[in-house]
Copies of this chain bind each other. A is one copy, B any other.
Amino acid sequence: MLNYQLLLEEFKRILKEKRLKFTKQRELILQTLYENEGHFSPEEILSLIREKMPNIKIGIATIYRTLALLEEQGLAYSISLGKEGKKYELGLKTHHDHLVCIGCGKIIEFFDEVIEARQEEVAKRFNFLMQEHIMQLRGLCSECQKKKK
């Protein structure tokens, strides 16, 4: 996993480059994404921050504005599939993909070089500058297959 200091430096660098300001709120949002594995809605991020820092003044509008900024800069990305609303996750993480068991919810991480290489090729084929990818294989893990029988 990327070191937080590096991530923070990168964020500051981007802000400086765009002549935007580094604020406590912006830092907290980045930090929250960093410290919490998983995907969060703007509301959830706000709760996490208020839980951790009950005295900080921060509103939902700032969360939205900052997440949009982070996403534009590739430091975060959002995704929504199925029923759930839009969720944000930190970008720049060590890459990995997931096998997700729809029976018990277990998540297995994996990494496959052949797929990775091939994804690069696909991106090139479409003249795409790939920054991230998401891959989830969904199905039943071995235990849940047994249960079904």
Knowing A127-B142, A137-B128, A140-B129 are in contact, say whether A71-B118 is a contact too (CB < 8 A).
no
Knowing A77-B102, A112-B118 are in contact, say whether A137-B133 is a contact too (CB < 8 A).
yes
Q: A72-88: contact bitstring with B at CB < 8 Å (1 yes, 0 no)?
A: 10100111111100100
Residues of A within 8 A of B (CB): 68, 71-72, 74, 77-83, 86, 99, 101-102, 108, 110, 112, 114-115, 118-119, 122-123, 125-142, 145
CB<8 Å pairs between A and B, sample of 12: A77-B102, A79-B80, A80-B81, A108-B128, A110-B126, A115-B118, A126-B142, A128-B139, A128-B142, A129-B139, A133-B135, A133-B137
